[in-house]
Every structure is written in structure tokens, then in C-alpha cells.
Structure 1
């Protein structure tokens, strides 16, 4: 530890004394910003620590401007594209470039050039890199997610559902922009618009599940009988009694052993089609070569329940029926003149 110098030796010593630190012989460094934001001696101290401290097993940088010399441990660089050419990768250096990032501080909330999406992607990449080299901690993401959905759809408990989430979570149902940001708003959403609004026969038929270091991505068919107002899914539409089978994708982010956020999406077109609320043809107000001045309508390229059928069995429905249509995709609407009195 002494060979690491005053910094980061003292920091590492303080870290491993913590009772909650269960890996005491390995640490990873994450260095934000670039050298210009630090004291002049910091770069030299950092290089010395990497060369001499065996406790440091991996380093994450958000700038390629650091002059660290040869390092025995692996390095991950998150490179902001607008800061110049990306450094070359070597066997010990992994580089990810962020095309829309304007500065190394793209990951720092409130900083000039902060990019929410780039920060989120870099967080997941850093997490995997650090966990791979430090050796964890690893959590059973499937168990966490399955517990959450049990409390949502089977137990139907707002309190238990919120208990599976971080202090300030958020949920976004993309087609309808329903959900909530923060514990108070999300609790209100679950209580008044979601958990008790789903019909009793609601089911989630899992099609596939992909598990990452901090995310689960589920493909599933959401099944329900529309016998009550389901305002998070189809706001304002009265009950129709129609059974819906809707292909869904859920991207679930987990922080530690709690859910952080859910991005959930589906094709609202197929929902309206299955409900009989979407016509086969709609007015087409744009010019078409050879049909100038005509009153036109276009066939709506939206499928019904067959979208769910094909997701669950790729051979159940033929592909490309929309691109090889048997009916006209665009047609003239002939307006009948009313007879004169």
C-alpha cells in the first residue's frame, strides 16, 4: 500500500477498512474529466499509483489525454468524439467512442456537454469492466425482476412493488408516455393508473430474455381482456370486451439489487387494430406521381393479433405480406355527387 503513495494509498486503506467492502484485495479507479481539471502533480501521481499499487486491477478514464505510461492493468477509455481523434486500442486498452459527446464531462450531470444517453451507456460499460476485473458484486437480476412483476400482477401490492425499486426510480411506457419519475409520482401512478387497472386475466407470456450486467431485456406477449379502462395502455378508451395479445419489449435497469428504471414499449398500432379502432385505409394528403389532383387514401401498414402470433412462432404467419400486397396500397377515392333536388 505504501508504494501507492499518499494518493491513492490512503484512499484504498480507508476503503478496505469499511465493513461493507467485501473485496479487500482489489480496487478499480474511475477518473472523471481530463488532466486540465486537476492539480499539476495529479497525472504523475496517478501514473505512479498504476505502476506500483497491486491493489489497483483496472482503471476507467473519461479522457484520452492522460499520460500514464505503460500500465500492467487493463484500462477502459470513454472517448468524447468532439475532443479529437480516438486513441488506438491495444491488448490492454479498450476504447469506446461517443459520437455526440462534446467533452469528457458528458457523464457528469449538470456539466456542460452532459449527455444522458451517453452517460447511461458508459455507466453500463464501466460497470461490466470493473466487475469483470474486481470480481463482482453480482446480483440475480432475474430474481429481482420476477419478484417485481409478481408484486405488480399477482400480489397487486403497491407497497411491495415500490419496495423492489431504488429510492428515486422511474418508469416510462414509451407509446403513451405513462409512468412516473421519482418515488412519490411513481407510487401515485402504480396506485391509481396501473396495478389495479389491469384486468384480472392479465398475463405476460415470455418469449425471450436477455441478461446483461445491469439490465434485463424481455420480449413477451401482453395478454388481457379489455373489460375495464386500462389508461396506462390505451388512455381514455372505454372497455370493449376485446381480448388483446400485444408484443411488448421491456428494458429494465437494475442498480445493485433494486430496479432503477423500466423502458417499456409496444406497437400501439396493433392495439388499435385489434380493438377495431383503426381503419384499413386513411386519407393520403401528399402528391403521388401520375395521380395529381386525385383524392387519395392509403392502406395502413399495421397488422393485428398476427403480430403476437408470429413473435411466438415465426412460421405461424407468412413474412412480407405487407410488401407483397394483394390489394392496392394507395387508391383513389371517388366522391359520389349528391342528386340535385
Structure 2
């Protein structure tokens, strides 16, 4: 089947309009396929916590947590008198509980993205019977008896202090500013933001009772559409509004829905050989990730843009060791990071010589006249896939015997 013969209509994505409770309070129902979930309150005090940015497909907190299948209420403290916070919090929680998308769980989480937090607000959080746990970003210090997770910039104090009761947790992030998690903030740091998001999920979900999803099932649904049915729009329906895929060795894929859809349609789904197979070796499932080791096998009977760009078909059969790190937000995929051994691919295709020139002096000496140095390329063929599948199938450390040689010009 070709891309031209398999034009599909885009499938509808989860959508729910934002509910304006007051000028300073909005509620975003879950942006997940299941459409229900527990409640989460987020506190902000600056514009960068509410607006999207063209520099990143990572959305503002309101949308991001709704994609995790929470009913998310956002309270803007920038113009809210401190004396009105307690009543505003209570009214917001009441409004959340009236929504049909709210799953009825009486425990509510709260995330503070604040440059400062007054004692009055801290006291209101402490006395609220509904707030069960708190996550703190920014410069604010919140002292409470409730389970609290702190994300702090800088290095951890030494010696590292451990909370033996495991009620509170603090993570430190070197070389970032307090609001590194906000995509629109000048100090946004993507990798630290991603790590802190996963840690927040691990902290909140056990306390709030979810939302829980079968991540393996979601990933396998995606790969069924991708490799089994070869259906572009079905594949994209398993992903967020703005997902991405990064094939690390060849820097191929797509960032955002439009570009990723084009990549899948024109360079991936219909580009794979008919005998393509994925043999799973191991799988690790985390709070929001599925990490696979697998052997990707195929016959190179066509040009495979994403894997071997620019290389005409050789007719050779390949078995390549792969890893995939799949981030799942709620019940849909956000991104895939895919890596493989490109050197073994070239070896198996007969396109990587056993020796290559070494253009540098060795211990201050150059090659003799009419000769040059060559090094043995530290790459293997199908043995890499065999050893991934069975650690005893190939002897280890044979490359320790590789050496430089002199060869004629």
C-alpha cells in the first residue's frame, strides 16, 4: 500500500472547552480519550505560566495536566487579594466537584508555580480538607504537614538528608532557575522540566488514586496501527495534539502534528519493507514511559528514508538492535526517542569497510613513506543483534584485539 492509495480522514482528538469560573479562575476538563479523572489545582502568579510559546510544543501547565487526564483548575494569584484566596480556593473546588468529568476522588492535588507565597495562602492550603498533597516550583517556600514535593534549582546540600517517613521529597536541578518548568518562561529548561514532570506524576498518582492507564496497551495499539495496519491517521489518533518523534542516529522524524503526520505518511509507515519485524527483548514500564529493547529486522529492498537516508536498496537482510523510549501523557503518546546502532546497519549492508584511514600521528610518529595508518573499525555485524537477544551467543571483548596497521597508499 502506498501513501497515495491510503489517504485517510483525520480522526477527532479529545477536546473540552475551558470553563471560566471567574476572571481569575478557569477549569480545563481532561484532554484524554477517557475524559475523566481526579482534580488538580494549579496556582500561578505570572503570565508565563498561562500562555503558550512558539519555541516549544510543550504546552502550559493547564493543558499539560489536562492531557494527563486531570480535571485542572487554575487560580491566578497575580491580581487576587490575599484575603480572598481561601474563599476562592473553596469555590474553585466546589466548581470542580460539580463537573461530570470529575471522578469523585475526594483527594485533590495542588501544584504551585509561584515566585512567592504568603503565609496566609500557606495557611489556607494547610487547613483545606480537600487538598491532599502539594507540589512546589518556583521561589516559594511552603511549610505544611501535608505530603509535599519540592523542585528546587541548584545542587543538593551535602550530606543528603533523607526523609525516613517518605512523606516529603525534594529534587534538585543544577544550572536552572526557579521556574525552569514553564515553556514560556525565559529560564525554561526542557530536559529538567521533563524529568520533574515524571517525578511529579510518581508523587501525585499514589496519593490521588490515579489516573492510571495501561501504558503497554497504549503503546501496542500505536505500533499495531503503525506497522500492522499501516494507517497514518489511526497512528496519529493515539498521540497528543502536538507530539514528536526523534530517530536519533539519522535525526529524522517530526515535531508537531502537521510535520509528524507528513513524516509518517511520506517517509515511514509506507516506507518500511513488507517483511519488517520487531522482536521484543525487554520492556521497562515507568510512571509515564515504556522503554523497549528490540531487534528490528527487514530486507533492504527499497530506500528507507528514516533509517538509511540516501542509500539505494542493497537486497541485504538486516537485524539491528534498537531501543525506544516512549513518553505517554495520560492515555496518548507524547513522544518517541528511537535509537539504534547505525554502524552495524552499514556493516550488514556491506557499506562500511573493515579498515579506514587514521590521519593522525601515533605517539608522535607518522607512517613510513608511501604508507598510511589504518584503524580497524570498531563495529560488528549481525552479532550485535544476536548478543542483545542472547548474551551468551557471542564472545565478549574481541574488539580489544583491534589495532592500527600500516597500509600502502
TM-score w.r.t. structure 2 length? 0.75
| Pairs within 5 Å for 1:118-267 | 118-267=192-341
Equivalents in 2 of 1:334, 1:249: separation in Å? 40
CA offsets per residue over residues 248-291 of structure 1, 9 Å max, x none? Answer: 00111111111111110101111001111001111111221163
Q: Tell me how far apart the structure 2 counterparts of residues 44 and 89 of structure 1 sit (CA, whole Å).
A: 26
Q: How many residues align?
A: 319
CA shift in 2, pair 1:23/1:125, >3 Å:
farther
- Measured in 2, the distance between the counterparts of 1:99 and 1:135 equals 31
Which residue of the partner structure matches residue 26 of structure 1? Answer: 107
8 Å CA contact 1:7–1:45 kept in 2: the answer is: no
| Match of residue 61 from structure 1 | 136
Indicate conservation of the 8 Å contact 2:360/2:366, yes or no. Answer: no
CA drift at 1:57: 1.2
What is the aligned counterpart of 2:390 among 313, 316, 333?
Answer: 313
Aligned to 1:96: 171
In structure 2, distance between residues paired with 1:225 and 1:311: 20
Contact map agreement 1:158 1:187 (CA 8 A) in 2: yes
Structure 2: distance between partners of 1:120 and 1:89: 24
Contact 1:172 1:180 in 2 (8 A): yes
Matches of 1:262 and 1:191, distance apart in 2:
17
2:181 aligned to 83, 86, 107, which one? 107
SS of alignment partner, residue 118 of structure 2 = helix
2:141 paired with 1:75: no
Cα distance in 1 for partners of 2:185, 2:379 equals 43
Give the C-alpha shift of residue 97 in structure 1. 0.9
Instruction: Name the CA distance, whole Å, in 1 between partners of 2:157 and 2:281.
Output: 42
> Quick one: higher RCO (CA 8 Å, sep 6+), 1 or 2?
2
Q: CA deviation at 1:80?
A: 0.8
Structure 2 contact 114–139 (Cα < 8 Å) conserved: no
Q: Any unmatched runs of 5+ in structure 2?
A: 1-84
Of 292-301 and 161-170, the range deviating more from structure 2: 292-301
Report the Cα distance in structure 2 between the residues aligned to 1:293 and 1:171, rounded to whole angstroms.
45
Consecutive unaligned residues of structure 1, counting only runs of 5 or more, are 36-41, 336-341
Q: Which residue of 2 aligns with 1:17?
A: 98
Cα deviations across residues 71-120 of structure 1 (Å, max 9, x unaligned)?
332111111117x959955333211111131x111001121211000001
Which structure 1 residue ranges, 4+ long, deviate > 6 Å from structure 2?
Answer: none
Deviation at 1:228, TM superposition (A): 0.9
Q: Could you say what the CA RMSD is over the residues aligned between the two structures, in angstroms?
A: 1.9
